[in-house]
């Protein structure tokens, strides 16, 4: 090999090594500098529902802690999977994160035949924000004042009473189906919506009969008398006068819903750790805890590893429930 050839080869090798070193160092540099501009938080449901309310509370505090605005980008559709898919395929630079829920991650993959992402490997879990029970809500115009009255009302009108949900791929739908089997009200007819904020007006006018909702969005409507609450899956501080289903005689029915944050796969670990730490700090602070509790959410202190394990565990649990109830994925 000539001297010129050896020099050319050496230069190419050096250039290759330099490229690898720059690529390896890029995430660390980005993480050290991050954030230098606003961060987008994708919420896979419309404005006004429980998920949106919780996301906005977290975004406001997270923006203060990071020194950059965290802005909400509502992307509803397909039971939340449309917005979740946008997060899964976003650039993993820390400038796009997403609100994950029990519906968009574990429930979707067991209730839907085709989901465009893997809820475990397709995201970088960041932190669990908190958990909330389900409340069965109805119009005050519905001629059934109590849960017992409502069950009898449905049983006496097979196929004529409907229930709302934000899609057949969501946990709210699965919870409703479980309730229907436990109470022999399986003749209720499903009416899907894009989000709970669209359901509330139809509930209040009795266009649709009932919905299993999270108190984050509907508690104020219940407290004002615009909606009626029949029962909660677990006692809620925001709805202290609403009895639990266990107390009302519906046994083995205590599901909860969770909210969390995720990023695209490959989001730098230091960025994930920082966001997770700030979310936990918010939930554990007196002001943050009070804010979440006022929205019906019990704050959590679960960062990436624990949150990722929760998603995987819920998938297995929901699969077993779906098989037991005989529900077929749609």
Range 73-111 burial, b when 16+ CB lie within 10 A, else e: ebbbebbbbbbbbbbbebebbbbbbbbbbbbbbbbbbbb
Q: What is the pLDDT of residues 170-201, one digit of tens each?
A: 899 999 999 999 999 999 999 999 888 899 99
Q: What is the pLDDT of residues 250-277, one digit of tens each?
A: 999 999 999 999 999 999 999 999 999 9
How large is the average pLDDT for residues 37-52?
94
Residue 19, classified by CB atoms within 10 Å of its CB into exposed (0-12), middle (13-18) or buried (19+), is: exposed
Residue 26 has pLDDT above 90, yes or no: no
Would you state the pLDDT for residue 196?
A: 87
The structure tokens listed for 101 are 């829920």
Residue 88 has pLDDT above 50, yes or no: yes
Residue 321 has pLDDT above 60, yes or no: yes
Q: Which of 80, 79, 97 is nearest to 88 (CA)?
A: 97
Q: What is the pLDDT of residues 283-313, one digit of tens each?
A: 999 999 999 999 989 999 899 999 999 999 9
* Every domain range in the chain assigned CATH 3.40.190.10: 135-232
User: What architecture is the 37-131+257-325 domain classified under in CATH?
Assistant: 3-Layer(aba) Sandwich (3.40)
Residues 135-232: name the CATH superfamily.
Answer: Periplasmic binding protein-like II (3.40.190.10)
Q: What is the pLDDT of residues 223-247, one digit of tens each?
A: 999 999 999 999 998 999 999 999 9
Q: What is the pLDDT of residues 120-162, one digit of tens each?
A: 999 999 999 999 999 999 999 999 999 999 999 999 999 999 9
pLDDT higher at 13 or 167:
167
Side-chain half-sphere CA neighbours of 198 within 13 A: 13
Would you state the pLDDT for residue 330?
A: 79
Residue 246, classified by CB atoms within 10 Å of its CB into exposed (0-12), middle (13-18) or buried (19+), is: middle
Residue 2 has pLDDT above 60, yes or no: no
Question: What's the pTM value of the predicted model, to 2 decimals?
Answer: 0.83
147/150 Cα distance (integer angstroms): 5
Percent of the chain at pLDDT exceeding 70: 91
Would you state the pLDDT for residue 31?
A: 62
Least confident of 95-99, 100-104, 213-217: 213-217
Mean pLDDT of the chain: 90
| Run of H or E residues at 74 | strand 70-74
* Every domain range in the chain assigned CATH 3.40.190.150: 37-131+257-325
């Amino acid at each position: 090999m000539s001297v010129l050839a050896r020099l050319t080869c050496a230069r190419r090798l050096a250039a290759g090594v330099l490229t690898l070193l720059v690529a390896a160092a890029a995430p660390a540099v980005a993480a050290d500098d991050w954030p230098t501009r606003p961060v987008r938080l994708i919420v896979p449901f419309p404005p006004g529902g429980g998920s949106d309310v919780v996301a906005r509370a977290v975004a406001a505090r997270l923006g203060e802690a990071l020194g950059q605005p965290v802005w909400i980008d509502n992307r509803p559709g397909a039971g939340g999977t449309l917005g979740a898919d946008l997060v899964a395929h976003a650039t993993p630079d820390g400038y796009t994160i997403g609100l994950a829920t029990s519906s968009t991650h574990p429930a979707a993959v067991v209730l839907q035949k085709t989901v465009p992402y893997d809820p475990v490997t397709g995201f970088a879990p960041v932190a669990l924000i908190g958990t909330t029970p389900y409340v069965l809500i109805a119009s005050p115009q519905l001629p059934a004042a109590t849960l017992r009255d409502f069950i009898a009302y449905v049983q006496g009108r097979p196929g004529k009473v409907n229930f709302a949900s934000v899609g057949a791929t969501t946990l709210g739908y699965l919870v409703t189906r479980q309730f229907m089997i436990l109470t022999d009200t399986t003749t209720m007819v499903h009416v899907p919506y894009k989000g709970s904020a669209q359901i509330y007006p139809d509930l209040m006018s009795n266009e649709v009969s009932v919905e299993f909702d999270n108190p984050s969005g509907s508690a104020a409507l219940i407290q004002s008398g615009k909606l009626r609450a029949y029962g909660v899956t677990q006692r809620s501080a925001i709805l202290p006068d609403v009895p639990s289903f266990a107390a009302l005689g519906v046994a083995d029915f205590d599901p909860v819903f969770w909210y969390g944050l995720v990023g695209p796969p490959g989001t730098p670990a230091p960025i994930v750790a920082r966001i997770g730490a700030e979310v936990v700090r918010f939930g554990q602070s007196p002001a943050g805890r009070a804010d979440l509790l006022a929205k019906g959410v019990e704050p959590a202190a679960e960062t990436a590893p624990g949150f990722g394990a929760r998603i995987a565990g819920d998938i297995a649990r929901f699969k077993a429930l779906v098989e037991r109830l005989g529900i077929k994925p749609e």
